[in-house]
């Protein structure tokens, strides 16, 4: 009897010890997070970004351009990894291991700013927001405070093969300031005359829809960034119709990932690439096609108020609310925030087009690009940048897009457009509370 | 001898001194497992408990608040979750039986005493499961691409007239995922059967042969019953594996087209990292997997008639 009793006591003891251990651990956690905001000033400032040829290169350039003495460590991570690390790190309440500066895609920014209040440091005092393209300010600020320093623009253009278009009987003028309907018409002609596809699309990526609707100043959510705006969203409806018309016109070359997308135009299989300007280096990578490409403004939706300018992607720098934040903000403000000469180098050395308006008058921006038949590509892009309608991307771009992607499949199979958008609206409303 | 027997057999009648020693021994025993037990509690049970608590909360990122059973109610009206659940069950119901049967088939073939190059075949079939999940998934993606090897092969054989959209047709995309998992895991299950077959007494087959049983009869009346515990074991781990399916879907189709190949685990990932983070609801969906694993394992035990 005694023995059995002891067994139980032993178990009990064990669980008590374990519980104590747990309690000790969890209280450690708690104290760890509470002093996250105001510790020692660190010697080193860290920055996280992705894409070594673009964002990392831009940061390196900024580091060289910065006159103060600053020990800046630039760490390259894949964008998905940064999103994950920020989410897990910030939600744990512990700021340990977080960088001082982080690059966040504009369409994700609001989600971070609102999910983790106080995790980011307002940097509006370190630069003048008036100097930047207006469409970049809404996604990078919250409650009137500026948190992000706008970096690259995702201004879109219609890259096209001059030789294919010529063969089909079209010149650059025929592609300038057109609607998507006209684009589809031209696409059919190109396919018939040259046998080449007009465009390469990933059926899982509705990025082209976002390009279309932003040209009409619309988004998946209303201006408050929260209210789901799918049903009765005329631009979105038009965009769906255009998308389906493209698929049915049989000039879409399907791709299922980035490398296949690149291969589609590098191999000469498609005649046009409507995309953010950041695709230019990938097009230029195929040297045998030099002189065969030009860029026209992106087509617009056939609606009143729609413009031939839109945006795809683009990101901004944020400063985390941890020791070293002032140093980090000063660094950003003195380089990306105000240094015109730096922006000229950025265009020349990295090919990165910022959204800092005063830089557009610089010499580097006017340079003619031989690959694009002598077109002053950068100047054209920065002109279009100023026309991009400003929209509030809100919180749920990617969640809504997954819902739309599922409904798009139904739409392509013949479901009525009104039902498609109504169902998507209902689903989004129930999912996003 | 008899003294030892008496001591161990009847502890309560032992003298006070031996009891004391026993307790001391017992203590040392507890001490030995204490570290492991504390470790498991800390790194398994505690997170599980926290996840359970988390599943009763909702909100964006760090703004979590308790919402009671709201998350669980939300599951039933969440079309994306229902789509993910349906997909997962389709994978489960088609892929697990196909794989188990294939693995059994290969293992019986390889167990044939007269087979030459046994080592080579065994290695060849087992090799897929030493590959990294992501690496093989990416290769499958390219194999099944519109310009991929599979389409080229089928076209050259004139089996199809134009390339199939393996990755962007809802039905074919599911097939691609199932083909990939089957390729990856069949060899793994086969090894279990092969080793279990080593323990089946050959004299049983000989006796059956003398009695005039065909190979098929031998397979169904000797091999399958003898392997029953292993078949049960492999079907349970395969079921659990399929419920946790993530890498293949993420890398081959990214859940698409639409959400035609979305798995539950991938939905959890999306809820946490792709959309505005709602860790509370993501934890709720995770607990659905836990509940499903428990239920399906119980069911399999019941069906196999093995209550132990």
Q: What is the pLDDT of residues A285-305, one digit of tens each?
A: 889 999 999 999 999 999 988
* Calpha distance B90→B86 (Å, rounded): 6
Q: Give the list of residues 6+ apart from residue B235 with CB closer than 8 angstroms, or none.
A: B96, B100, B300
Burial A107-129 (b: 16+ CB within 10 A, else e): bbbbbbbbbbeebbbbbbebbee
Q: Is residue B66 part of a domain?
A: no
Q: Is residue B65 part of a domain?
A: no
Q: Are A22 and B274 within 8 A, CB to CB?
A: no
Query: What is the reported pLDDT for B8?
Result: 47
Q: What is the DSSP letter of A354?
A: B
Q: Are A399 and B276 within 8 A, CB to CB?
A: yes
CA distance A83 to chain B (A): 7
Q: Are B79 and A408 within 8 A, CB to CB?
A: no
Query: What is the reported pLDDT for B257?
Result: 82
Q: Is residue B28 part of a domain?
A: yes
Instruction: Please check whether the domain covering A44-154+312-361 is classified as CATH 3.50.50.60.
Output: no
Q: Is the ipTM of this complex over 0.95?
A: no
B85 with B45, same domain? Answer: no
Select from A13, A14, A406 the Cβ nearest to the Cβ of B259: A406
- CA quadruple A127, A131, A135, A138: dihedral positive or negative? positive
Q: Is the pLDDT of residue A179 over 70?
A: yes
Query: What is the reported pLDDT for B42?
Result: 93
* Calpha distance A33→A93 (Å, rounded): 6
Average pLDDT of the residues in A21-40? 44
pLDDT digits (tens, 9 = 90+) for A135-174: 898 889 988 899 999 998 889 999 999 999 999 999 999 9
3-state secondary structure of B62: coil
B chain contacts of residue A403, beta-carbon cutoff 8 Å:
80
A403 close contact with B: CB closer than 8 A: yes
By C-alpha distance, the chain B residue nearest A433 is B59
B206 close contact with A: CB closer than 8 A: no
B114 close contact with A: CB closer than 8 A: no
A chain contacts of residue B270, beta-carbon cutoff 8 Å:
398-399, 402
B23 with B168, same domain? Answer: no
3-state secondary structure of A17: helix
Domain ranges of chain A: 44-154+312-361, 157-310+391-431
CA distance A119 to chain B (A): 10
Query: What is the reported pLDDT for A96?
Result: 83
For every residue of A292-331, DSSP letters joined together read: SEEEEEPPB-SSTT--S--B---EEEEEBSSTTHHHHHHH
Cis-peptide into B210, omega within 30 deg: no
Nearest to B88 by CA among B253, B245, B237: B245
Q: Give the list of residues 6+ apart from residue A323 with CB closer than 8 angstroms, or none.
A: A38, A39, A40, A41, A42
Q: Are B167 and A90 within 8 A, CB to CB?
A: no
By C-alpha distance, the chain B residue nearest A398 is B275
Select from A1, A256, A406 the Cβ nearest to the Cβ of B258: A406
B150 with B184, same domain? Answer: yes
Q: Are A256 and B258 within 8 A, CB to CB?
A: no
Q: Is the pLDDT of residue A25 over 90?
A: no
Residue A345 or residue A25, greater confidence: A345
Query: What is the reported pLDDT for B43?
Result: 94
B154 with B16, same domain? Answer: no
Q: Are B37 and A14 within 8 A, CB to CB?
A: yes
CA distance A145 to chain B (A): 19
B148 close contact with A: CB closer than 8 A: no
3-state secondary structure of A252: strand
B20 with B136, same domain? Answer: no
CATH value at residue B224: 1.10.3720.10
Per the structure, the complete domain to which residue B27 belongs is given by: 2-54
B39 with B83, same domain? Answer: no
A chain contacts of residue B12, beta-carbon cutoff 8 Å:
1-3
Tally of domains in chain B: 2
A140 close contact with B: CB closer than 8 A: no
Q: Are A93 and B62 within 8 A, CB to CB?
A: yes
Q: Burial-class residue A331 by CB neighbours within 10 Å (0-12, 13-18, 19+).
A: buried
pLDDT digits (tens, 9 = 90+) for A374-414: 899 988 998 998 899 988 888 888 889 888 988 898 899 89
Q: Is the pLDDT of residue A6 over 60?
A: no
Q: Are B80 and A402 within 8 A, CB to CB?
A: yes
A chain contacts of residue B254, beta-carbon cutoff 8 Å:
204
Give the total residue count for chain B.
308
Mean pLDDT (chain A, rounded): 86
Q: Is the pLDDT of residue A13 over 60?
A: no
By C-alpha distance, the chain A residue nearest B276 is A111
CATH topology classification for A157-310+391-431 = D-Maltodextrin-Binding Protein; domain 2 (3.40.190)
- Percent of chain B surpassing pLDDT 70: 93
Mutate which: B47, B137, B270, B276, vs A, most A CBs within 10 A: B276
Paired strand residues for A316: A104, A150
Burial A351-387 (b: 16+ CB within 10 A, else e): bbbbbbeebbebebbeeebebbbebebbbbbbebbee
* Calpha distance A201→A285 (Å, rounded): 20
CA distance A153 to chain B (A): 22
Average pLDDT of the residues in B105-115? 87
Q: Are A396 and B276 within 8 A, CB to CB?
A: yes
A23 close contact with B: CB closer than 8 A: no
Nearest to A398 by CA among A209, A118, A224: A209
* Calpha distance A259→A420 (Å, rounded): 31
By C-alpha distance, the chain B residue nearest A7 is B26
CA distance A414 to chain B (A): 15
Nearest to A220 by CA among A110, A378, A61, A318: A110
Q: Are B273 and A87 within 8 A, CB to CB?
A: yes
B140 with B269, same domain? Answer: yes
> Cβ(A392)–Cβ(B272) under 8 Å?
no
B184 with B279, same domain? Answer: yes
Q: Are B168 and A1 within 8 A, CB to CB?
A: no
pTM of the model: 0.78
**Given this chain, do its domains A44-154+312-361 and A157-310+391-431 carry the same CATH topology?**
yes
pLDDT digits (tens, 9 = 90+) for B75-103: 888 888 999 999 999 999 999 999 999 99
Q: Are B275 and A398 within 8 A, CB to CB?
A: yes
Q: Are B168 and A203 within 8 A, CB to CB?
A: yes
A chain contacts of residue B83, beta-carbon cutoff 8 Å:
406
B chain contacts of residue A433, beta-carbon cutoff 8 Å:
58
* Calpha distance B145→B140 (Å, rounded): 8
Residue with tokens 């300038």: A176
* Calpha distance B16→B51 (Å, rounded): 47
Q: How many CB pairs under 8 A join A and B?
A: 130
B43 close contact with A: CB closer than 8 A: no
B88 with B28, same domain? Answer: no
Q: Is the pLDDT of residue A109 over 70?
A: yes
Q: Is residue B61 part of a domain?
A: no
Query: What is the reported pLDDT for A33?
Result: 37
Q: Are A396 and B80 within 8 A, CB to CB?
A: no
Q: Are A90 and B170 within 8 A, CB to CB?
A: no
Query: What is the reported pLDDT for A27?
Result: 41
* Calpha distance A151→A217 (Å, rounded): 21
CA distance B248 to chain A (A): 14
A37 close contact with B: CB closer than 8 A: no
B chain contacts of residue A430, beta-carbon cutoff 8 Å:
74, 77-78
CB contact residues (below 8 A), chain A span 54-93, against chain B? 80, 83-84, 87, 90-91, 93
pLDDT digits (tens, 9 = 90+) for A203-245: 878 899 999 999 999 999 988 888 899 999 999 999 999 999 9
Q: Are B80 and A431 within 8 A, CB to CB?
A: yes
B16 with B134, same domain? Answer: no
Q: Is the pLDDT of residue B13 over 80?
A: no
């Amino acid at each position: 009897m005694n023995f059995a009793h002891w067994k139980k006591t032993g178990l009990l003891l064990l669980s008590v010890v374990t519980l104590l251990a747990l309690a000790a651990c969890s209280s450690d956690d708690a104290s760890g997070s509470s002093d996250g905001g105001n510790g020692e000033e660190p010697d080193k400032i860290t920055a996280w970004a992705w894409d070594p040829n673009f964002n990392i290169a831009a940061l390196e350039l900024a580091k060289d351009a910065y006159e103060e003495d600053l020990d800046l460590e630039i760490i390259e991570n894949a964008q998905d990894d940064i999103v994950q690390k920020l989410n897990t790190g910030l939600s744990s309440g512990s700021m340990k291991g977080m960088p001082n500066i982080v690059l966040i895609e504009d369409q994700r920014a609001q989600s971070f700013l609102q999910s983790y209040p106080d995790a980011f440091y307002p940097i509006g005092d370190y630069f003048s927001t008036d100097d930047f393209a207006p469409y970049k300010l809404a996604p990078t600020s919250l409650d009137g405070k500026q948190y992000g320093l706008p970096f690259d623009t995702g201004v879109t253009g219609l890259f096209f093969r001059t030789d294919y278009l010529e063969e089909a009987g079209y010149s650059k003028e025929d592609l300038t300031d057109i609607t998507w309907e006209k684009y589809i018409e031209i696409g059919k002609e190109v396919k018939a005359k040259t046998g080449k596809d007009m465009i390469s699309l990933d059926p899982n990526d509705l990025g082209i829809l976002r390009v279309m609707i932003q040209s009409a100043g619309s988004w998946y959510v209303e201006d408050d960034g929260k209210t789901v705006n799918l049903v009765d969203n005329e631009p979105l409806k038009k965009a769906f119709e255009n998308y389906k018309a493209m698929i049915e016109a049989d000039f879409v070359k399907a791709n299922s990932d980035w490398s296949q997308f690149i291969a589609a135009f590098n191999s000469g299989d498609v005649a046009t690439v409507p995309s953010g300007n950041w695709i230019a280096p990938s097009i230029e990578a195929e040297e045998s096609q030099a002189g065969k490409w030009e860029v026209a403004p992106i087509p617009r939706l056939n609606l009143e108020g729609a413009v031939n300018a839109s945006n795809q992607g683009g990101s901004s720098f944020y400063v985390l609310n941890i020791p070293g934040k002032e140093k980090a903000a000063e660094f950003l403000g003195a380089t990306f925030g105000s240094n015109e000469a730096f922006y000229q180098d950025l265009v020349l050395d990295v090919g990165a087009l910022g959204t800092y308006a005063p830089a557009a008058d610089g010499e580097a921006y006017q340079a003619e690009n031989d690959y694009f038949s002598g077109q002053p590509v950068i100047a054209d892009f920065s002109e279009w940048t100023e026309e991009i309608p400003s929209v509030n991307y809100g919180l749920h771009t990617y969640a809504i897009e997954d819902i739309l992607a599922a409904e798009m499949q139904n739409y392509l199979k013949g479901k009525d457009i009104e039902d498609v958008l109504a169902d998507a609206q209902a689903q989004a409303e129930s999912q996003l509370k | 001898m008899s003294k030892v027997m008496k001591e161990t057999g009847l502890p309560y009648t032992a003298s006070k001194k031996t009891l004391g020693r026993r307790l001391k021994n017992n203590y040392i025993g507890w001490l030995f497992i204490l570290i492991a037990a504390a470790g498991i509690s800390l790194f398994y049970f505690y997170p599980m408990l926290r996840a359970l608590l988390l599943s009763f909360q909702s909100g964006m990122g760090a703004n979590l608040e308790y919402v009671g059973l709201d998350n669980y109610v939300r599951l039933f009206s969440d079309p994306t979750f229902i789509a993910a659940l349906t997909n997962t069950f389709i994978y489960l119901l088609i892929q697990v039986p196909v794989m188990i049967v294939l693995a059994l088939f290969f293992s019986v073939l390889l167990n044939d005493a007269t087979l030459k190059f046994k080592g080579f075949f065994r290695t060849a079939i087992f090799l897929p499961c030493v590959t990294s999940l992501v690496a093989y998934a990416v290769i499958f993606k390219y194999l099944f691409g519109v310009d991929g090897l599979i389409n080229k092969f089928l076209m050259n054989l004139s089996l199809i007239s134009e390339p199939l959209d393996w990755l962007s047709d809802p039905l074919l995309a599911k097939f691609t995922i199932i083909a990939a998992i089957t390729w990856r895991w069949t060899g793994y299950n086969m090894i279990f059967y092969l080793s279990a077959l080593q323990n089946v007494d050959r004299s049983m087959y000989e006796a059956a042969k003398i009695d005039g049983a065909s190979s098929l009869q031998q397979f169904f009346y000797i091999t399958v019953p003898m392997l029953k515990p292993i078949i049960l074991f492999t079907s349970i781990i395969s079921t659990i594996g399929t419920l946790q399916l993530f890498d293949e879907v993420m890398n081959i189709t990214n859940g698409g087209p639409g959400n035609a190949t979305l798995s539950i685990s991938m939905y959890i990932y999306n809820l946490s990292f792709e959309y505005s983070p709602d860790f509370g609801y993501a934890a709720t969906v995770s607990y659905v997997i836990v509940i499903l694993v428990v239920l399906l394992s119980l069911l399999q035990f019941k069906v196999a008639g093995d209550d132990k």
